[in-house]
């Protein structure tokens, strides 16, 4: 049927009699040849133990390509292990290994190892351009599920948008040259003294409580609350369902520049002009730890993925790592020539990226405390960093330039600086003026989410 051109009929016949083909060695070879010629569907037989190992490997090493193959091309059949019962008194039964499957297993392992050699690719960019009128936006963030956006303003308000309720959300994933097709969202942000008109967009809610400019916002991992920090020295927790302020955290004596929530949602940390960082719990309005050691403003803070360590960047040009449980410094990373404005741990926590006023992006080996990469492609102050994967790092500067770095590419002194920069840089995006980038984060499917203000 297949040779005569009736591929659909051949596929249906094979599907209905698949078990019979696999029982007879001669038919099995014919079936495997049929599958390889079709090149669209392959059957892989694994024991339950082997399947568990494969599933655990894919989950722990983040292999989207292999996961896609398993979902679309490979069909995994779980086979039962055959127990040798020739010796009933044997303590550990011997499993008979089907030698016909070993070649397939070795081939699969070889394919997995080759995936590590595939070079990283540039991520897609999703741009939200928010028209806020004359109100100056000073902070922004996107929820982990990408259903909500939050923005902090110079007039002390916090606005939260439900993306699903936007009137005309023409969202699109963009390539490096298609920023003109970005999502332009025109929204109403009322003055703090005026009530929301009845004809206003129902997708936006304005939260009032701070008495100074809001410098940072972040959603909790459960997408149920938003945390904000302000020039008024406080931090506030807002409940999304009611849009009410449920907690006010006081402890700093000067403006709070940054806030970060641990991945497990147990703790959050704040960075302040009072030269300290503080660690908090959501149900307590006083700090659990006060991290003192920097000699100038602490401008940025971030948790290690395991939640046991915290990193801070300061105007004293240093990056410090702290033990969360003890509140003690465990690393002091010196290499910048100006204020450190952004820091970010890689997904597995082995690398730490930092950037700031010296226009540089430095990647550190956390264990050794040394510099692995020093990227100098930006021409302006670098305000933000985000890791897309263990080998892809993104940064943005004050001129609206977004650069994507190939961290897997080694830094060598045997090539010219221009050639080395071209090899290390995967992509470059430009957000045109007057839009100003306020937030750059990781979205779904390893994409970039950028929030820009058109004010």
| pLDDT per position as a tens digit, 142-185 | 998 888 999 999 999 999 988 877 654 444 433 333 333 345 44
User: What pLDDT is stored for residue 129 in this prediction?
Assistant: 84
pLDDT tier for residue 53 given thresholds of 50, 70 and 90? confident
Q: What is the mean pLDDT of residues 101-118?
A: 73
User: What pLDDT is stored for residue 125 in this prediction?
Assistant: 86
User: What pLDDT is stored for residue 411 in this prediction?
Assistant: 63
Greater confidence (375 vs 73) lies with 375
Specify the residue for token string 């929820």: 143
Q: How far is CA 350 from CA 259, 342, 391, in A?
A: 22, 17, 11
**Burial tier of 79 (Cβ tally within 10 Å: 0-12, 13-18, 19+):** middle
Secondary structure class of 439 (helix, strand, coil): strand
Backbone dihedral angles phi then psi of residue 447, each to the nearest 5 degrees:
-100, 170
pLDDT tier for residue 121 given thresholds of 50, 70 and 90? confident
pLDDT tier for residue 91 given thresholds of 50, 70 and 90? very low
Separation of alpha carbons 342 and 358, rounded Å: 12
User: What pLDDT is stored for residue 320 in this prediction?
Assistant: 97
Q: What is the mean pLDDT of residues 364-375?
A: 94
Secondary structure class of 410 (helix, strand, coil): coil
The fraction of the chain above a pLDDT of 70, given in percent, is 73
Q: Is the pLDDT of residue 307 over 80?
A: yes
User: What pLDDT is stored for residue 64 in this prediction?
Assistant: 64
User: What pLDDT is stored for residue 44 in this prediction?
Assistant: 72
User: What pLDDT is stored for residue 254 in this prediction?
Assistant: 97
Residue 433: count other Cβ atoms within 10 Å of its Cβ.
9
User: What pLDDT is stored for residue 355 in this prediction?
Assistant: 97
User: What pLDDT is stored for residue 446 in this prediction?
Assistant: 80
User: What pLDDT is stored for residue 317 in this prediction?
Assistant: 96
Q: Which domains does the chain have, with CATH numbers?
A: 7-115 (no CATH), 127-453 (2.130.10.10)
User: What pLDDT is stored for residue 143 in this prediction?
Assistant: 93
Q: What is the mean pLDDT of residues 193-207?
A: 59
User: What pLDDT is stored for residue 140 in this prediction?
Assistant: 95
pLDDT tier for residue 309 given thresholds of 50, 70 and 90? very high
Q: Is the pLDDT of residue 368 over 50?
A: yes
- Return the structure tokens found at 83: 């127990």
Specify the residue for token string 């109403």: 188
In sequence order, what are the beta bridge partners of 141? 150
Q: Is the pLDDT of residue 327 over 70?
A: yes
User: What pLDDT is stored for residue 223 in this prediction?
Assistant: 92
Query: Average pLDDT over the chain, rounded to whole?
Result: 81
User: What pLDDT is stored for residue 169 in this prediction?
Assistant: 43
Separation of alpha carbons 380 and 1, rounded Å: 66
Q: In whole angstroms, what separates CA 416 from the centre of its chain? A: 32
pLDDT tier for residue 225 given thresholds of 50, 70 and 90? very high
pLDDT tier for residue 113 given thresholds of 50, 70 and 90? confident
Going by their DSSP bridges, the two strands 289-292 and 276-281 should be labelled as antiparallel
Going by their DSSP bridges, the two strands 137-142 and 148-153 should be labelled as antiparallel
């Amino acid at each position: 049927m297949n040779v005569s051109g009736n591929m659909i009929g051949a596929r249906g016949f094979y599907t209905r009699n698949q078990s019979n083909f696999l029982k007879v060695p001669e038919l099995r070879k014919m079936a495997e040849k049929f599958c390889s010629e079709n090149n669209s569907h392959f059957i892989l037989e694994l024991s339950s133990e082997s399947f568990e190992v494969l599933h655990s490997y894919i989950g722990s090493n983040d292999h989207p390509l292999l996961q896609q193959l398993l979902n679309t091309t490979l069909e995994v059949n779980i086979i039962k292990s055959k127990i040798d019962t020739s010796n009933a008194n044997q303590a550990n039964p011997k499993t008979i290994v089907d030698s016909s499957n070993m070649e397939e297993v070795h081939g699969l392992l070889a394919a997995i190892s080759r995936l590590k050699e595939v070079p990283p690719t540039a991520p897609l960019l999703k741009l939200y351009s928010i028209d806020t009128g004359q109100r100056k936006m000073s902070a922004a963030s996107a929820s982990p599920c990408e259903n909500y956006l939050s923005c902090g303003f110079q007039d002390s308000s916090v606005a939260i948008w439900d993306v699903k309720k936007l009137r005309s959300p023409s969202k699109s994933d963009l390539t490096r040259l298609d920023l003109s097709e970005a999502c332009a969202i025109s929204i109403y942000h009322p003055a703090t003294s005026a009530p929301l008109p009845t004809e206003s967009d129902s997708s936006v809610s304005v939260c009032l409580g701070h008495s100074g400019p809001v410098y940072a916002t972040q959603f909790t991992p459960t997408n149920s609350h938003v945390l904000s920090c302000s020039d008024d020295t406080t931090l506030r927790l807002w409940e999304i369902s009611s849009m009410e302020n449920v907690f006010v955290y006081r402890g700093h004596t000067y403006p709070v520049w940054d806030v970060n929530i641990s991945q497990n949602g147990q703790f959050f940390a704040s960075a302040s002009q009072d030269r300290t960082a503080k660690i908090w719990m959501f149900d307590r309005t006083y700090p659990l730890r006060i991290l003192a050691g920097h000699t100038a403003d602490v401008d940025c803070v971030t948790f290690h993925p395991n939640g046991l360590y915290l990193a801070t960047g300061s105007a004293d040009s240093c990056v410090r790592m702290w033990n969360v449980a003890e509140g003690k410094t465990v690393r002091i990373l010196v290499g910048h020539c100006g204020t450190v404005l952004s820091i970010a741990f890689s997904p597995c926590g082995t690398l730490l990226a930092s950037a700031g006023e010296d226009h540089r992006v430095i990647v550190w080996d956390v264990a050794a405390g040394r510099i692995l990469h020093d990227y100098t492609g930006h021409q302006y102050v670098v305000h933000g960093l985000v890791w897309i994967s263990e080998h892809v790092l993104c940064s943005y500067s004050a001129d609206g330039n977004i650069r994507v770095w190939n961290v897997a590419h080694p830094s060598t002194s045997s090539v010219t600086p221009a050639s080395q920069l071209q090899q290390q840089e995967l992509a470059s995006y430009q957000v045109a003026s007057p839009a100003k980038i306020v937030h750059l984060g990781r979205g779904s499917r390893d994409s970039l989410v950028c929030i820009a203000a058109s004010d």
